[in-house]
Amino acid sequence: MPAASVSASGPTPGSTSGSTSGATRRFAYIDALRGFAALWVFTLHVHGYWLDNVRPPKLSADGVLVRLIGFGGAGVDLFIVLSGFCLTLPILRSGTGPLRAIDVRGFFRRRAYRLLPAYYAAVALVMGIELVPAIRRALVPRDLTWADLLTHLTLTFPLHQDTLAAVNGSLWSIPLEATLYLGFPLLVWLGRRHGIRAVVALTGVVAVVWWLVTLVVTMPTAGGWLAQPDKYLPARWVQFALGMYAATLVRGIPHPRAGALAWWSCALGLPAGLYGYAAGQELVRTLGFGALGLGLLVLLSRVPERFFGRGPLAWLTGLGTISYSFYLLHQPVILLLSGWGHSLGLSVIPLFAVAMATSGTLTVALAAIFYRGIERPFLVRGSTASVVLPDRR
């Protein structure tokens, strides 16, 4: 999922003075967490396509490994929290409470620049290589149709089970991100009038109502619509709002118990998220991993930037920088190499190591090229800081 640029217009705990081009800069702790999320999602798909979702005994080394990487879908939950956090930081004036007003039209225009060029390029690339029959059979279960093209152009493909995974199954989160962007101005307006807690409360109510609806309505519905209810805005909006709340704890009025709140969010959110994930309780999973993301962002913001920018974690921070390109391209690479991996006849741990060394290295290389050629030119243009309206005082 895309990385939102963060304004350097005010100090953030743990930050340094360097900045990227224009009015934006990157914070290393954000990129490190983003890199971890991308890597976790990657390992989940390695488990699915290289290891065939194998489930060895829990107490074996193989069993521990596959259960750790089997929770990799939580990386998307962290991405959503990060998105709310990064979009909110630039509209917070350091040491003040209210959110700053934004130019809604300018915000949508810049978010479209940020999200769509790389997405459309990735769709075109994958559709192009899927014209080769042998590659298509390795990547997708059927031939592509005009409906696949149309729904991917309009970001509506997750709405129906036939188009959900027709091109690249991991792309479903991009339309989700787009709807989060559409809802952001409403949350900013609500936060300005009633405070950030009202934002969290509203989105929490929406998540609960959506969960109740899914208990009553069988999904996918008749005709295959609404294939997976956890992949739409009502289920995930609260995670985005928790990211916004984390931003206020980092940059807004100093909260006397922010540290304790962050530790409790991690301590309660992690087991709740893991339980919800394993038991299929999507509401518990959403709230749990949302709380975990909030806590991690607050705590990591207090760690010196050099801890992430240099030393053993520098590679993870670097992966976070190209994480959107990495995310867009990783699943086709894993699928294309998985057939070769199966021919090796290795056990779980050696096969996982080979998958990470081959699929991982190739994906990083392609993502770095994709980032420099397609994604990076749109980064500054996509900055939220550039759409903050001047104070009317």
- What is the pTM assigned to this prediction? 0.94
Backbone angles phi, psi at 6, to 5 degrees: -120, 135
What angle do helix axes 196-216 and 282-300 make, rounded to 10 degrees?
160
Rounded to a whole number of angstroms, the distance between the first and last alpha carbons of the chain is: 37
Residue by residue, pLDDT tens for the chain (393 residues) are 775 655 433 334 433 333 333 345 679 999 999 999 999 999 999 999 999 999 999 889 999 999 999 999 999 999 999 999 999 999 997 777 789 999 999 999 999 999 999 999 999 999 999 999 999 999 998 999 999 999 999 999 999 999 999 999 999 999 999 999 999 999 999 999 999 999 999 999 999 999 999 999 988 998 899 999 999 999 999 999 999 999 999 987 778 899 999 999 999 999 999 999 999 999 999 999 999 999 999 999 999 989 998 888 999 999 999 999 999 999 999 999 999 999 999 999 999 999 999 999 999 999 999 999 999 998 877 667 789 988 765
- In the chain, where the domains are located: 6-122+234-386
Query: What residue type is 340 in one-letter code?
Result: W
Task: Please return the burial class of 379, using the count of CB atoms within 10 Å of its CB with bins 0-12, 13-18 and 19+.
Answer: buried
Which whole-number Å values give the CA distances from 252 to 12, 14, 36, 324, in the listed order? 10, 15, 26, 28
Cα distance between residue 1 and residue 84, in whole Å: 12
Give just the sign of the alpha carbon dihedral 15, 20, 24, 30.
Answer: negative
Residue from 217, 323, 248 nearest 95 by CA = 248
